[in-house]
């Protein structure tokens, strides 16, 4: 399949933002004195921001794409071995109207739009 697409660093950042802003962060905490009230000035619950983090602290939140990881490994190898020569970067033809057309379009990202659904 020539148009096989995998997730990138941009997709990871978008998912991280959604997980941070949207998912299970607001908790409804009941107010016991006004639990059965329908009045606006005596709300039955309050919204509290949950500060617990679902991602353990030992996991890095910054994901480097595979290409960036490969370049970093080559830089480390070049620093440790003086006989190693870095390969030259070759830029491919952009093919704006060909198989790389999908790279020049992007969906709009509205992080708070999910809250309205």
The closest of 46, 53, 7, 1 to 28, measured between CA atoms, is: 46
Which one-letter DSSP state was computed for residue 42? S
The string of DSSP codes covering 43-91 is -SEEEEE----SS-TTS-S-PPPHHHHHHHHHHHHHHH-TT--PPPP-P
Taking the model in full, what pTM does it have? 0.31
Q: What is the mean pLDDT of residues 16-37?
A: 78
**Sign (positive or negative) of CA dihedral 54, 17, 2, 65:** negative
Assign 42 a pLDDT band (cuts: 50, 70, 90): very high
User: What are the extents of the domains in the chain?
Assistant: 9-88+97-116
Q: What is the mean pLDDT of residues 68-73?
A: 82
Can you read off the two tokens belonging to residue 81?
A: 């071995």
**The pLDDT of residue 85 is above 80:** yes
The closest of 25, 26, 33, 30 to 45, measured between CA atoms, is: 30
């Amino acid at each position: 399949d020539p148009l096989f697409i995998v997730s990138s660093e941009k997709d990871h950042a978008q998912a991280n933002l959604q997980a941070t802003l949207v998912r299970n962060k607001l908790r409804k905490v009941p107010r016991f004195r006004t639990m059965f009230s329908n009045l606006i000035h005596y709300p039955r619950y309050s919204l509290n921001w949950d500060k617990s983090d679902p991602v353990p602290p030992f996991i890095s939140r910054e994901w480097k794409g595979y290409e960036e990881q490969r370049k970093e490994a080559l830089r480390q190898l070049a620093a440790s071995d003086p006989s190693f020569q870095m390969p030259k970067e070759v830029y491919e033809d952009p093919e704006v109207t060909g198989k790389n057309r999908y790279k020049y379009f992007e969906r709009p990202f509205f992080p708070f739009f999910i809250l309205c659904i």
